[in-house]
Amino acid sequence: MPECIVLGDDVAHDILINLKRDDIIAFRDEISKTLVDFSATDERTYQPEPAVVTRPDGRKALFRPFTSNNGPGIKIIVDPTTPSAAGKTEARPESTNTTSKKPTLHGILAVCDEDGLPKGFINAEEITAYRTSMSVMIPYAWRSNTANVVVFGAGKTALWHIRQALGLRGEEIMRITVVNRSVERARALIDQVQQENEKFWRSPVVFHNLNHDHSKYEEDLQEAVSQADIMELGELLHMRDTSLEGFSKEQERCLRGGLVVYKSVGVSLTDLAAANAVLALARRQGKGVLVPHF
């Protein structure tokens, strides 16, 4: 009987933030394969529909089940939008998320093997933001230039966009501009990533943020966008193919250096791919709590 691994949020964060470039690429390839399977095969027909239940107090619970030949699983997320829940969330120490004062979406990822035996339970906060950002890294790998990056937002997903970009192409990135209505949150994100950059990636990048209240904000924003090589705006990207083969020359030119706009929609199978990848890393690194004969 396989052992079940339990990973708390801090452990999941430690595994993900310490990934080397080859590990990040391997993780990205797993997400890529999952998106291809979902979009270009009949795999989507075996995926249950997600469900949202809203309690009388306004609290929402999201249920995202998924299946594969290797076993089923589910992600459960609670959106604590009520004042009392928000207060509790703000009082909770957030060692890995210093960029947001909004209520954090807490939850869990549970994965079973093909026989229904539990393989792992993972705190869903860090891994959800990581797999959401990782989907954007698929087309990011195709870009010819990435010297100037503009990031809209200062939450956990934006944070992982920056981390992954630095982990994959940090030596090429010269400038990252963070655009957010809250200057405080933008500066907190920048302070955090600057410290992490010194420890993990050592990119020559210089960080900037735009002050929404500044009289020249619109002018500064237009300048930042016009000079940008990359603008990270998305959540999940559905791809039918993860190489540039098969695209026309014009399509390839656009993907490498033009403006690419896409709609981001969540795919529960990416939660399964991310969970399996993190559980495999945890086993390899000897991290987490092992529960034998669960």
Domains defined for the chain, CATH in brackets: 4-128+266-291 (3.30.1780.10), 131-257 (3.40.50)
DSSP class of residue 116 equals: S
The answer to which of 27-41, 89-103, 184-198, 242-256 has the lowest mean pLDDT is 89-103
CB 127 within 8 A of CB 275: yes
Amino acid residing at 294: F
Tokens of 180: 């957010």
pLDDT bin (cut points 50, 70, 90) of residue 41 is confident
Which residues are paired to 148 by β-bridges? Answer: 175
Could you write out the DSSP letters of every residue in 164-202? Answer: HHHHHHGGG--EEEEE-S-HHHHHHHHHHHHHHHHHHT-
SS3 of 125-138: the string is: HHHHHHHHHHHHHH
CB 281 within 8 A of CB 23: yes
- Asked if pLDDT for residue 292 goes beyond 60, the answer is yes
Give residue 101's pLDDT: 55
Tell me the pLDDT tens digit for each residue of 175-234.
999 998 888 999 999 999 999 999 999 999 999 998 877 778 888 888 887 787 765 532
Q: Cα separations (Å) of 41 from 231, 255, 277?
A: 30, 24, 22
Residue 46: Cβ within 10 Å count: 13
Burial profile 225-254: b = 16 or more Cβ within 10 angstroms, e = fewer: eeebbbbbbbebbbbeebeeeeeeeeeeee
Q: What is the mean pLDDT of the chain?
A: 83
- Asked if pLDDT for residue 95 goes beyond 50, the answer is no
Higher pLDDT, 65 or 98: 65
Give residue 225's pLDDT: 77
- Asked if pLDDT for residue 159 goes beyond 90, the answer is yes
Give residue 90's pLDDT: 43
Higher pLDDT, 149 or 213: 149
Give residue 143's pLDDT: 85
DSSP class of residue 231 equals: E
Alpha-carbon distance of 81 to 93, in angstroms, equals: 18
Give residue 217's pLDDT: 82
Tell me the pLDDT tens digit for each residue of 227-286.
877 655 322 233 334 445 555 676 667 667 776 665 555 678 899 999 999 999 999 999
Give residue 229's pLDDT: 75
Radius of gyration of the chain (CA): 20
Burial profile 171-183: b = 16 or more Cβ within 10 angstroms, e = fewer: ebbebbbbbbeeb
Average of pLDDT values for 135-140? Answer: 86
Q: Is 290 helix (H, G, I), strand (E, B) or coil?
A: strand
Residue 218: Cβ within 10 Å count: 11
Give residue 36's pLDDT: 85
State the pTM of this model: 0.82
Average of pLDDT values for 33-50? Answer: 89
